[in-house]
Amino acid sequence: MAVRCLITAGPTREYFDPVRFISNPSSGRMGYALAAAARDAGWTVDLVSGPVSLPEPAGVMLYPVVTAEEMMRQADALFGPCDVLLMCAAVSDWRPALRQPSKLKKDGRGLTVELEPVPDILAALAARRRAGQVLVGFAAETEDVEANARLKLDRKGVDLVAANSVAGPDGAFGSDTNALILLGRDGYRLGIGPASKAEVARCLVAEVATLLAAR
């Protein structure tokens, strides 16, 4: 069966002037490992990526974006025909309400930047999903990893949530290795790793393939 897979990866950046932004430490490695694993499984892969310092993976279509708004538009355009969505990006949850057109000058005083929420990309895509699609969200948690992640199954309207800890120096951000707890409907639970992100990605793609075949 031909499978088309949409993957988001990396952080987003939200600028408040031309040279300053808020973001997070996501390296994009987990999303890029998923893209390679999905490609190796024979799937057609669209990879929507925030700014990362990783080589372009061979054999996938790469769509670079910067902000959550751009990621939203690009993912929205690619979502319709996809069979699998792996929403691995670490989307910035807030963005500056104002983006100054020129560099802000210091004046020796503090700076207050008002932030507004960005749209929830995954929830918006899930709201218009079609039958047969498999949607996987990721949950980046610093505490009560499993309980918090399980709440996201319903909140985001997805089939699986891959929960990982981003707390402390052993957290997933920037690391070569990862450990995931994959959570699904009816109490489904599978621990993957700790292992290299490449190995974790292979296991996750295999689980999604099983779910897809059962549909």
Residue with smaller CB distance to ligand CTP, 157 or 193: 157
**Any contact of residue 160 with ligand CTP (CB under 6 A)?**
no
Considering the candidates 24, 148, 164, 178, report the single residue annotated as catalytic.
24
Q: Are 136 and 162 in contact (CB under 8 A)?
A: yes
Count of residues engaged in binding ligand CTP, rule: CB under 6 A: 15
Residue with smaller CB distance to ligand CTP, 138 or 173: 138
Closest distance of CB 152 from ligand CTP, Å: 6
Whether cis (ω within 30° of 0) applies to the bond prior to 194 is yes
In a 13 Å sphere around the CA of 55, the CA atoms on its Cβ side amount to 4
Residue type, 142: T
**Any contact of residue 138 with ligand CTP (CB under 6 A)?**
yes
Applying CB under 6 A, which part among 99-107, 134-142, 177-185, 200-208 lies near ligand CTP?
134-142
Residue 30: Cβ-neighbour burial (10 angstroms; 0-12, 13-18, 19+): buried
Residues contacting 125, CB < 8 A, separation 6+: 75, 76, 79, 85, 87, 135
Closest distance of CB 88 from ligand CTP, Å: 7
State yes or no: is 24 an active-site residue. Answer: yes
Binding mask 87-126 for ligand CTP (x = CB under 6 A): x-x-x-x------------------------x-xxx----
Our measurement of the distance from residue 100's CA atom to the centroid of its chain's CA atoms, rounded to an integer in Å, reads 28
Strand partners, 15: 21
**Interface with ligand CTP in residues 54-83 (CB under 6 A):** 68
Residue type, 30: M
Binding residues for ligand CTP, per CB under 6 A?
A: 68, 87, 89, 91, 93, 118, 120-122, 137-140, 152, 156
Q: Which residues are catalytic?
A: 24
